[in-house]
Amino acid sequence: MARRMPPFAALRAFEGAARLGNLRLSGEELSLSVSAISHQIKSLEEFVGIALFHRDKNKLRLTAPGKDYLLELTRALDLIATATARIEQERHSNSVSINLFSSLAALWLLPRLASFRKLEPNVDVRVITTDDPIDFRTGLVDMAIRYAKQAPDAAKTALLFKESVFPVCSPSYRGEFLRFDPSSDLSRQTLITCQSSPEEWAQWFRYIGFSGKPPRHTIDVDSRALALEAAMDGLGIAMGRTPFADRGMAAGRLVRFNKRMLSTGQSYFLAMTESAMRSKAARSFSDWLVAQTGEKHS
């Protein structure tokens, strides 16, 4: 037999008005006008056949039956909220979200993600890319990859990469250049510069002690991914960084222009929230991420 139930909108309007003691505040909470809240309460009173409020000019007061009804209704709404939260938790228990730079996602994470899908086919992964880190307190992500000198403040962290930089180019570009100028003088080459790291070539020249003429030609792009793609296409020499250049080098599309390499002192850390540590899906994903790098937990 079907339950005899009043409209849920009327119940919410009554509960809000009774809890807040004000029709206007209840309307603001539910994004309804005062007249709409009043109409919902009146329809509820007609449904139950009894007055739930005393209609005073300046104050909203519950009648004795109204107080009893509010008590039982509050318990029922709490049960609904608890059941809803439990279902939502179950839905999210098989998903994980991660925040990182777009270039790192494109060049390192996404090309490897198929192996995690084979390992955990029922876990959904949500990749959120931003230029600036997302604050964990927003609750928008379970974990993030942070670029820093030291491990960030988080419930749990793991070292993924220690950053190194080194010039890279396509094999054909390097072979053609060395055929005519074995000195490997970078100033004579086309350098690919990245707007996200405008000082990287100047830092490199200081590191190698170069004080000669600036490069003859440059190609300026706005992302690490584009810089490396341009290098793979033979347009010039880009600054390779761990782990951005790894895939291109493994595929044979990038090679080091020379043997010099600079450690920047910066690292990439995986940072996890407290709630992520309680999630089986998040723990599995974090373990997989660390395994991709061969580093140990910090």
Q: Given this chain, do its domains 8-92 and 93-298 carry the same CATH topology?
A: no
Per CATH, is 8-92 categorized as 1.10.10.10?
A: yes
Q: Decide which of 248 and 79 is more confident.
A: 248
**One-letter amino acid for residue 195 of the chain:** Q
Across the chain, the runs of DSSP E, i.e. the strands, are 53-55, 60-62, 95-100, 124-129, 143-148, 156-169, 190-194, 217-221, 237-241, 255-256, 262-272
Residue 91 pLDDT more than 70? no
The pLDDT tens digits for 20-33 are 888 888 889 999 99
Q: What percent of the chain has pLDDT over 70?
A: 92
Q: What is the dihedral of CA 227, 230, 232, 234, to 10 degrees?
A: -140
Q: Decide which of 280 and 213 is more confident.
A: 280
CATH number belonging to domain 93-298: 3.40.190.290
* Predicted local distance difference test score (pLDDT) of residue 140: 81
pTM of the model: 0.65
Residue 98 pLDDT more than 90? yes
- 3-class DSSP state for residue 39? helix
* Predicted local distance difference test score (pLDDT) of residue 136: 78
Measured CA to CA, the distance from residue 183 to residue 257 in angstroms comes to 11
Which two three-digit tokens encode residue 63?
A: 């009648």
- Where along the chain do its domains lie? 8-92, 93-298
- 3-class DSSP state for residue 297? strand
Residue 56 pLDDT more than 80? no
* Predicted local distance difference test score (pLDDT) of residue 297: 41
* Predicted local distance difference test score (pLDDT) of residue 88: 60
Q: Are 271 and 157 in contact (CB under 8 A)?
A: yes
Residue 142 pLDDT more than 70? yes
Measured CA to CA, the distance from residue 151 to residue 167 in angstroms comes to 27
Q: Are 134 and 141 in contact (CB under 8 A)?
A: yes
* Predicted local distance difference test score (pLDDT) of residue 68: 94
Q: What is the mean pLDDT of residues 171-197?
A: 80
- pLDDT band of 173, cuts 50, 70, 90: very high
* Predicted local distance difference test score (pLDDT) of residue 60: 84
* Predicted local distance difference test score (pLDDT) of residue 180: 60
* Predicted local distance difference test score (pLDDT) of residue 81: 81
Q: What is the average pLDDT score of the chain?
A: 88
Residue 90 pLDDT more than 60? no
Residue 87 pLDDT more than 70? no
- pLDDT band of 296, cuts 50, 70, 90: very low
Tell the residue number behind the tokens 């080459």, with chain if given.
189
* Predicted local distance difference test score (pLDDT) of residue 92: 57
